Amino acid sequence: MNWIFESDRTIELGVIVRLTGGHVARDGVFSNLGMFRNYGRNMLTVYYDSKFRAQFEENLENFSAVITTEALADSIPDPIGVLVVEKPLDAFLKLHFHFCENEPAFYATDRPTTIAEGAKVHPMAVVAERNVVIEEGVEIEPFAVIKEFTHIRRGARIGPGVAIGGPGYEMRYIAGALTYVPHAGGVMIGENTQILANTAIARAVFGGPTVIGDGCKIDHLVHIAHAAVIGRNCRLVAGASIGGATRLGEDVWVGPNAVIANSLRIGDKAWIALGAAVARDVSAGARVAGTFARQLP
């Protein structure tokens, strides 16, 4: 995946100690932040409870550094850098807030919006003046809103009232107060994808995009949360909701009003029935239905 807004900055763990406190137990560098099932590379992640060990180990190749506790530091394998603090999640979120407010170039490169000559953007659509790329053959219908750090690839069709690149819903308790977490990533829409009216696709929380693969067909009133990755040729039917950082394989069917929880993995050619509530990973080719979803024969 080549996201045009990706930043090329890297930061050493020692540089951020002034913001997070703690100490560096093993040197390391990172170029992005992310939770365990976020898509990315060279990421700094946070590991504060051993109950998440399986998820942490699942994606070790994505992480170049980790913020963790003294008790867990020795369990982090080489060559991952280790920053030890008393409250890892608080330190991780503080760092994210700092980059969003003071160093936004850490997450993404800034550039003027470009719209290909062969693209058709309705005059009643709203396209941000910076940090949008619209390629040849794209069609954008009235009242669609395309916000910053959105890349719409060749041949995609965006229906009326579609909202792409707005912030998602990420709330955390910080110092006892329920606090909105800012979003610094973007959205990539694949080639020849069709998105019908009033669908909403949120930008990622950290660097990198929410991804809609080539050839997807997305119905009316679908919600796709921050940092979700939708594989090629998926079909999402009206009212479907995809949780943040959930990844769908290729050629997945998601039926009307189905809900897929955050941070799940849905295998290639899986079939999610109408109204299903999916709270666990779904294997390739599986058919699931019900609340909560169960595998069908």
Alpha-carbon span 25 to 275, nearest angstrom: 48
Q: Residues 138, 158: contact at Cβ < 8 Å?
A: yes
Q: Which tokens hold the place of 79?
A: 């060559």
Cβ atoms within 10 Å, residue 289? 18
- Percentages helix, strand, coil for the chain (3-state, rounded to 5) are 15, 35, 50
Task: Go through the chain and tell me how many residues it has.
Answer: 297
Closest to 46 in 3D by CA, of 84, 9, 77, 103:
84
Q: Residues 181, 162: contact at Cβ < 8 Å?
A: no
Report, as residue numbers or ranges, the catalytic residues.
226
Alpha-carbon span 289 to 295, nearest angstrom: 7
The residue type of 291 is T
Q: Which SS3 state, helix, strand or coil, does residue 22 take?
A: coil
Tell how strand 126-127 and strand 81-84 pair up.
unpaired
On the question of a cis peptide bond just before residue 92, with omega within 30 degrees of 0, the verdict is no
Helices (runs of H) and strands (runs of E) counted in the chain: 4, 35
